[in-house]
């Protein structure tokens, strides 16, 4: 029985490593294409399709959704969940959530490295000075909101509440991502890159929460919290 448990654990670790390697490979390929090519096949067609939906209500929603990527909103939302996790003793979740700002900073680093031009769109109503690939708003939405969806699966025990929360949050991820194309500040492939990059870091965050052993960070946080209580 012990051998079976160990084998299952090893298989799980191997599978997780394989997923990370695959996600890394996808990001490398997308990044390479973003460097050596301009718009990827389908980028112009999809962007034109979004522009044909020019509508004041949709445009206002798209502009509003852009707030999720503002530095002050990111800082405030992270501070809120970190305080919440500390108050209720979710040390592993707190440690895993440190991946969120790491993903945001890494995304900005990749932007500088790839230095891809944004589209010159007639609907572009928001100034964007940084390069386009990958979409930073999409990265943050996928990692931050995706992590909340995962935590809901763990801790919200009323099924309809859990599903409603996940549907609403998942819809927010899609709206934020699509809005970056709609308002003309990103190519669709920038958003695809944001999803791929975000999923990589989201998987790592979930891996930390699911890990059978506490990480150095979560162990330190737990010990400090216990000392404070004592």
Confidence of residue 18 (pLDDT cuts 50, 70, 90): confident
CA distances (Å), origin 108, targets 34, 111, 112, 115, 119: 15, 5, 6, 10, 18
Largest CA distance in the chain: 64
In this structure, what are the phi and psi dihedrals at residue 112, rounded to the nearest 5 degrees? -65, -40
**Residues in CB range of 77: below 8 A, 6 or more apart:** 144
* Rounded-to-integer distance, Cα 91 and Cα 209, Å: 9
Residue 122 pLDDT exceeds 70:
no
Q: Is 157 helix (H, G, I), strand (E, B) or coil?
A: coil
pTM of the model: 0.83
**Residues in CB range of 182: below 8 A, 6 or more apart:** 50, 53, 58, 59, 62, 123
pLDDT number for residue 227: 45
If one counts the domains in the chain, the total is: 1
Confidence of residue 93 (pLDDT cuts 50, 70, 90): very high
Residue 131 pLDDT exceeds 70:
yes
Confidence of residue 125 (pLDDT cuts 50, 70, 90): low
Domain hosting residue 34, numbered range? 2-229
* Rounded-to-integer distance, Cα 15 and Cα 170, Å: 25
CB neighbourhood size of 193 (10 A): 30
pLDDT number for residue 215: 46
């Amino acid at each position: 029985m012990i051998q079976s448990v160990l084998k299952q654990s090893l298989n799980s670790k191997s599978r997780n490593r394989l997923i990370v390697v695959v996600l890394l490979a996808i990001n490398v390929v997308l990044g390479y294409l973003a460097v050596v090519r301009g718009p990827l096949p389908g980028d112009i067609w999809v962007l034109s399709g979004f522009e044909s939906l020019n509508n004041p209500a949709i445009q206002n929603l798209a502009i509003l959704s852009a707030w999720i990527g503002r530095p002050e909103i990111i800082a405030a939302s992270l501070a809120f969940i970190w305080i919440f996790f500390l108050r209720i003793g979710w040390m592993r979740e707190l440690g895993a959530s440190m991946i969120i700002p790491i993903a945001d900073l890494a995304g900005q680093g990749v932007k500088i490295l790839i230095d891809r031009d944004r589209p010159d769109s007639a609907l572009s109503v928001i100034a964007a000075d940084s390069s386009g690939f990958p979409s930073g708003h999409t990265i943050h939405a996928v990692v931050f909101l995706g992590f909340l969806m995962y935590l809901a699966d763990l801790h919200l025990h009323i099924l309809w509440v859990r599903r409603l929360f996940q549907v609403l949050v998942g819809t927010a991820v899609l709206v934020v991502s699509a809005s970056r194309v709609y308002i003309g500040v990103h190519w669709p492939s920038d958003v695809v890159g944001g999803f791929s990059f975000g999923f990589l870091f989201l998987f790592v965050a979930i891996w930390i929460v699911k890990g059978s052993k506490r990480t150095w960070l979560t162990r330190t946080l737990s010990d400090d919290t216990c000392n404070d209580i004592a």
